[in-house]
Amino acid sequence: MSILFPLMAFLAIIAALIIGVGLLSGWFHKCSHCGSRLTITGTAEEDRRGKSEVCTIRDCFSCEYQEVIPLPKKHVDIQQQ
Protein backbone atom coordinates (compact mmCIF):
# COMPACT_ATOMS: atom_id res chain seq x y z
CA MET A 1 0.00 0.00 0.00
CA SER A 2 2.91 2.35 0.65
CA ILE A 3 4.11 2.04 -2.96
CA LEU A 4 0.71 2.98 -4.40
CA PHE A 5 0.98 6.74 -3.79
CA PRO A 6 4.49 7.18 -5.30
CA LEU A 7 3.47 5.03 -8.28
CA MET A 8 0.35 7.13 -8.89
CA ALA A 9 2.36 10.36 -8.54
CA PHE A 10 4.93 9.06 -11.04
CA LEU A 11 2.19 8.13 -13.54
CA ALA A 12 0.59 11.57 -13.11
CA ILE A 13 3.93 13.25 -13.87
CA ILE A 14 4.40 11.10 -16.99
CA ALA A 15 0.86 11.93 -18.16
CA ALA A 16 1.47 15.66 -17.61
CA LEU A 17 4.69 15.46 -19.64
CA ILE A 18 2.93 13.67 -22.51
CA ILE A 19 0.12 16.25 -22.55
CA GLY A 20 2.64 19.12 -22.36
CA VAL A 21 4.65 17.79 -25.30
CA GLY A 22 1.43 17.27 -27.23
CA LEU A 23 0.34 20.85 -26.64
CA LEU A 24 3.73 22.24 -27.62
CA SER A 25 3.97 20.18 -30.79
CA GLY A 26 0.49 21.17 -31.98
CA TRP A 27 -1.14 17.75 -31.67
CA PHE A 28 -4.35 19.19 -30.24
CA HIS A 29 -4.81 21.69 -33.09
CA LYS A 30 -7.45 20.59 -35.57
CA CYS A 31 -7.27 21.50 -39.25
CA SER A 32 -9.89 24.15 -40.00
CA HIS A 33 -10.40 22.63 -43.46
CA CYS A 34 -10.82 18.86 -42.88
CA GLY A 35 -10.81 18.46 -39.06
CA SER A 36 -7.77 16.18 -38.94
CA ARG A 37 -5.35 16.37 -36.02
CA LEU A 38 -2.33 15.59 -38.22
CA THR A 39 -1.11 19.18 -38.26
CA ILE A 40 2.16 20.92 -37.58
CA THR A 41 2.53 24.51 -36.40
CA GLY A 42 5.51 26.75 -37.01
CA THR A 43 6.44 30.40 -37.26
CA ALA A 44 7.94 32.13 -40.24
CA GLU A 45 8.68 35.59 -41.54
CA GLU A 46 6.63 36.45 -44.58
CA ASP A 47 7.14 39.35 -46.97
CA ARG A 48 4.02 41.26 -47.95
CA ARG A 49 4.36 44.41 -50.03
CA GLY A 50 7.96 44.90 -49.05
CA LYS A 51 7.35 44.50 -45.31
CA SER A 52 8.40 41.53 -43.25
CA GLU A 53 5.76 40.14 -40.92
CA VAL A 54 6.08 37.31 -38.39
CA CYS A 55 3.24 34.81 -38.77
CA THR A 56 2.17 31.36 -37.62
CA ILE A 57 1.85 28.72 -40.32
CA ARG A 58 -0.29 25.65 -39.68
CA ASP A 59 0.13 22.80 -42.20
CA CYS A 60 -2.23 19.81 -42.45
CA PHE A 61 -0.77 16.49 -43.57
CA SER A 62 -4.16 14.99 -44.51
CA CYS A 63 -5.56 17.58 -46.93
CA GLU A 64 -2.38 19.63 -47.59
CA TYR A 65 -4.17 22.81 -46.44
CA GLN A 66 -1.95 25.63 -45.23
CA GLU A 67 -3.30 28.32 -42.90
CA VAL A 68 -1.29 31.52 -42.34
CA ILE A 69 -2.12 33.45 -39.16
CA PRO A 70 -0.40 36.84 -38.74
CA LEU A 71 0.84 37.58 -35.22
CA PRO A 72 0.08 40.97 -33.66
CA LYS A 73 3.02 43.31 -33.28
CA LYS A 74 4.01 43.71 -29.65
CA HIS A 75 6.73 46.31 -29.99
CA VAL A 76 7.73 49.13 -32.31
CA ASP A 77 11.01 48.93 -34.18
CA ILE A 78 13.37 51.77 -33.38
CA GLN A 79 14.42 51.97 -37.03
CA GLN A 80 10.83 52.49 -38.25
CA GLN A 81 10.28 55.67 -36.19
pLDDT for 48 beyond 80: no
Q: Which domains can be identified in the chain, with CATH numbers?
A: 4-70 (2.20.25)
pTM for the complete prediction? 0.43
Q: How confident is the model at residue 79 (pLDDT cuts 50, 70, 90)?
A: low
Q: Is the pLDDT of residue 42 over 60?
A: yes
Confidence at residue 15, expressed as pLDDT on a 0 to 100 scale = 92
Task: Give burial (CB, 10 Å; 0-12/13-18/19+) of 60.
Answer: buried
